[in-house]
Amino acid sequence: MIPDYNIPMRLTPDEQAMLSGEHGPVVAEAIDYVIQFGEAFGADRLVDITYCHYPAEMAIYEGSVEDVAAYSERGGRVAVPTTTSTLCCDLERPASTGCPAALASLQARAETAHRRMGLLETYTCTPQSLGFIPPFGSYNLLVESSAIIYYNSVLGARTNRGGLLTRYSAVCGKYPLMGYLLDRNRRGTLLFNCDIPADRLRTYDGWSALGFHIGAIAGSAVPVIDGVRTDRQDFLIGLGAALATSGSVSLFHLVGVTPEARTVDEALQRRQPERVYEVTAADLDEVYRRMTTIQPGEPVDFVTLGCPHYNLEQLRVLAGRLAGRHIATGVRLWVTTNRMTKQQAEYSGYVKTIEDSGALVVADCCPVESHLRASTCREHGLPVPNVKALVTDSVKMARYSGDLIGCQTALADFERCLTAAFSGRWQ
């Protein structure tokens, strides 16, 4: 049925009170924006949301910090638990990454505004690793494509892509009943039958490559992935992040793993797929070929792990591999995580071990959201490109670093990333 976009939204007495200003002008403005948005897409009512993941204002975008500072001074306060996505620098030690002082100072102003609004200063792309796990079927609103797809697909907590509306939903606690909040829109539409040897999916980069291949075909559809499985959270995060990079996928069903896909039939809501695709190891090979522009033997000056952000176990494993070893001269090795995980990793001794090798544990941001962007480097008089050849195990990082930093890239498994860091060469 095609929604009637001319019918005004039905409001509850509480929602009408918000709109009329009984909860103050900022809340009235917020719910008004949410209502207008919902009516534009034919939603007939609002629902209460459980949780928000908010687009933290990054100083690399002109006017972003100033906007949130002004909004917080007007009295904007969140009504639901609200975490924050990444910033453009590690606020605790911005100089460690070479972030220009002026940029770091501007970014710090956002933290003050976020605290005033009641936002939680998590500054991460993986809030699920910090315990923010809404119940199955609950309504939420998130930004950050890798978080959105994880919450929808792995947790079954329902969300659309929040964008700028996330601020207003967080303030009024409401969102239109539309999109992936509705059962009918969560139906799988494309079926991907995977015939891939198990050894090709034993590492993070393999799942990342699989997601990139499928996402490029799926676009904004809902892919059902059959024939492969994993119970590892980091692999599922990597799969989702890649699906949302090559396409605009916000929900996938991995048969036998994700909660709405115990079977193919359940994932498809007992209908036929619009199309069926076969996926083989050759399709993964093509992803590696596309994402690798560094030639064998050429120098590498940057290796990055933690896209999306590393959890504590991943930092423990990395510390074990770096213990007693040293990164090659002229190579920067960044491992990115959130500040809470980093604090625990410091307590456990992992950060010291990692950084004794010459690597750097970076919180709050990642390379492509930092001063390393070519546009930001030009603005602050830094060399462009700031990175010449980057190696990573994340296809999302490879794709965006090539586009935004302007460097050569290579997609590799964890061990090969470390080999490049130790040798300073792509091998």
Structure tokens at 250: 């916000």
Closest CA to 152 of 163, 164, 140, 162: 140
Q: Mean pLDDT for the chain?
A: 97
Q: Which of 4-8, 25-29, 53-57 has the lowest mean pLDDT?
A: 4-8
Residue 217 makes CB contacts below 8 A (sequence gap 6+) with 190, 192, 223, 247, 277
For 228-254, b/e burial (b = at least 16 CB within 10 A) is bebeeebbbbbbbbbbbbbbebbbbbb
The tens digit of pLDDT for each residue in 296-352 reads 999 999 999 999 999 999 999 999 999 999 999 999 999 999 999 999 999 999 999
Q: What pLDDT was estimated at residue 1?
A: 41
Closest CA to 142 of 160, 169, 123: 160
Q: Do the beta carbons of residue 168 and residue 33 sit within 8 Å?
A: yes
Q: What pLDDT was estimated at residue 312?
A: 98
The tens digit of pLDDT for each residue in 200-242 reads 999 999 999 999 999 999 999 999 999 999 999 999 999 999 9
Percentage with pLDDT > 70 across the chain = 98
Mean pLDDT across the stretch 383-400? 98
Q: What pLDDT was estimated at residue 120?
A: 98
**pLDDT surpasses 80 at 112:** yes
Q: What pLDDT was estimated at residue 241?
A: 98
Length of the chain: 427
Map out the domains of the chain with their CATH numbers.
13-182 (3.30.499.10), 187-289 (3.40.50), 293-423 (3.30.499.10)
**pLDDT surpasses 80 at 4:** no
Structure tokens at 232: 């590892």
Q: What pLDDT was estimated at residue 5?
A: 56
Q: What pLDDT was estimated at residue 8?
A: 86
**pLDDT surpasses 90 at 82:** yes
pTM of the model: 0.96
The tens digit of pLDDT for each residue in 132-180 reads 999 999 999 999 999 999 999 999 999 999 999 999 999 999 999 999 9
Closest CA to 261 of 202, 178, 186, 193: 186
Mean pLDDT across the stretch 118-128? 98
Q: What pLDDT was estimated at residue 63?
A: 97
Closest CA to 392 of 408, 373, 411: 411
Percentage with pLDDT > 90 across the chain = 98
**pLDDT surpasses 80 at 6:** no
